[in-house]
A and B are shown apart, each in its own frame.
Chain A
Amino acid sequence: MTFKENIRSEEKSGSSALGVSKLCKQYRNVMAVNDVSFEVRSNEIVGLLGPNGAGKTTTISMILGVLEPTSGSIRIEGLDMVAHRSRALERTNFAAVYAPLPGNLTVYQNLRVFGLLYDVKDLAARIERLLRQFDLVAFRNTKCGALSSGEQTRVGLAKAMLNRPSLLLLDEPTASLDPSSARDIRAKIKAFVAEDSCGVLWTSHNMFEVGEVCDRVLFLSHGKILLEGDPKRLPQEYGKETLEELFIAVAREPLTLEG
């Protein structure tokens, strides 16, 4: 990291990477996300947890600007998503298992195209660095569709870090990886967060992983945030042994934890 980047990183540390306020999304009679407010600070990894259909992906889609909220606001590094969509998304990136990169382009071609879309400076050097970081050098000229799911995940993560985002959204980033690869990927993401003072919103169903990487967790159920806190202390506060037990309780009996 250069001196200039170091200063930038220190300035960013602790500031707000993402501010979500009173966010709602209604589909006809269904309230998919209901009055959700939270913040992700720079240098912080926040886990967004909840059962299937809780509203996690809907929330992430709204933050990415591909889904319009019914009401509420989203600010990325202080920039309002509605008024400054393009500038806000220049500082954001994401990786999700349900959004693989086009399989008919090679790893290098995909990184080049997305690097141009994000207007990455010194793109060639950045791509080379990410290829090395994510062990993709051998696959640079391989079409993404021909890669294993684990390799595709690594390409998706390399794409997500192309623009050194201030806000990184990761929707189950290690879902298709073996335990050893998953650990490596977690280490790389944590290193990236520390180096670039990035704020991360991370969804996962792996509670061990959440406990290991997240500084804070938000439990979402039926579109509402039910609980929020330190993943290491939260289970005890609610009389549960582990984060997994707490997750199951939230999923099965959300009303008992409300209020």
Chain B
Amino acid sequence: MRFNRLYAIVLRQAYLMRGSFARVLPLFVWVAIDMVLWGFITKYLNTVAASSLNFVPVFLGAVLLWDFFIRVMQGVTMSFFEDVWSRNFLNIFATPLSISEYVGGLVLSSIATSSIGLVVMLGLTMVVFDLSFFSYGLLLIPFLLVLFLFGISLGIVAAGMVLRLGPASEWFVWPIPAIISPFAGVFYPIATLPHWMQYFSHLLPPAYVFEAMRSILAGQPVAVSLLLWSIGLAFLHILIAYAFFARMYRHAVRTGLIARYSAESLS
């Protein structure tokens, strides 16, 4: 793996960001709106609910972590879409760039773009809504790690899907987080779900993060073994996602889709 090639993918994204207000704004505007909206909703719930539960860390903290996952996923897909929109596949895949270097470049781009969103969210929630992430302690690190890894894996799967199905399939990508969210137990314990849904939840690394987050806030011990399992599961998801993308790429090279991507399908 050559550093220059990874850097080229990141630099391309940086050039695009630098020259385009429309690309920079979405990095933090939507997450900021989400934080403000959920911040006030949770404050209101605190005033009307009979229970002593503090809704701010339960809901606002969950929304922040979930938005971070979405930003990571979109960081990968947006960088990939730039090649789709500029019809750049032929130029880029005719270079010595390997698939691992290309995917590595997408991941590095995502780290840069999602960090901006995370900083804005943390700043807003801590300053405006007094949400202290210190209450999570050092466990915040594995929480973010699991969500980051899962966001990367879903971003890679989404890119592979668009590579296989063509530019028009882009709209499949946007609802993916919304489809996963009920299974991940972002706002409620997994036990709330019917049994068949819980089976899917156990396969989703974020589900363990949100369970652990609620345990901390309820003053209960966190099952560290489950958190470690979720990290392992998230790495497994990355491997599967990479294998999926590599397979889609090989299919595109075999059928000629890379050379004539705008045709969408040659079958």
- Residues of A near any B CB (own CB < 8 A): 27, 57-58, 61, 64-68, 85-87, 89-90, 92, 94, 96, 98-106, 109, 112-114, 116-119, 143, 159
Residues of A within 8 A of B91 (CB): 99, 101-102, 114, 159
Does B5 make an interface contact (CB < 8 A)? yes
Beta-carbon contacts under 8 Å, B1-37 to A: 2, 4-5, 7-8, 11-12, 15-16, 19-20
Q: Are the CB atoms of B93 and A65 closer together than 8 Å?
A: yes
- A86 → B minimal CB distance (Å): 4
Does B90 make an interface contact (CB < 8 A)? yes
Does B195 make an interface contact (CB < 8 A)? no
Q: How many A-B residue pairs have CB under 8 A?
A: 90
Q: Are the CB atoms of A109 and B15 closer together than 8 Å?
A: yes
Does B266 make an interface contact (CB < 8 A)? yes
Beta-carbon contacts under 8 Å, B63-113 to A: 82, 86-98
A253 to B5, CA, bound (A): 48
A-B contacts, 26 listed (Cβ < 8 Å)? A27-B255, A57-B259, A58-B256, A61-B256, A66-B90, A66-B259, A85-B98, A86-B96, A86-B98, A89-B94, A89-B95, A94-B94, A99-B90, A99-B91, A101-B91, A104-B16, A104-B20, A109-B15, A112-B11, A114-B95, A116-B7, A117-B4, A117-B8, A119-B5, A143-B19, A159-B91
What's the interface size class on B, roughly? 20 to 34
- A65 → B minimal CB distance (Å): 7
Q: Are the CB atoms of B259 and A117 closer together than 8 Å?
A: no
For B256, give the chain A residue with the smallest CB separation: A67
A119 to B101, CA, bound (A): 13
Chain B interface mostly helix, strand, loop or mixed? Answer: helix
Residues of A within 8 A of B87 (CB): 100
Given the known inter-chain contacts A66-B259, A94-B94, please indicate yes or no for A116 contacting B4, CB distance below 8 A.
yes
Q: Are the CB atoms of B86 and A103 closer together than 8 Å?
A: yes
Q: Indicate which residue in A27, A87, A117 contacts B266 across the interface (CB closer than 8 Å).
A: A27
The residue among B2, B7, B15 with the most chain A CB atoms within 10 A of its own CB is B15
Residues of A within 8 A of B95 (CB): 89, 114, 117-118
The residue among B12, B253, B258 with the most chain A CB atoms within 10 A of its own CB is B12
With contacts A65-B94, A67-B256 known, what are 14 further pairs, Cβ within 8 A? A64-B90, A66-B90, A67-B253, A86-B98, A89-B95, A99-B91, A101-B91, A102-B12, A102-B88, A103-B86, A104-B16, A105-B12, A114-B8, A119-B96
Q: Which 6 A-B pairs have the closest CB atoms?
A: A116-B8, A102-B86, A64-B94, A117-B95, A61-B259, A89-B96
Q: Are the CB atoms of A68 and B15 closer together than 8 Å?
A: no
Q: Are the CB atoms of B16 and A117 closer together than 8 Å?
A: no
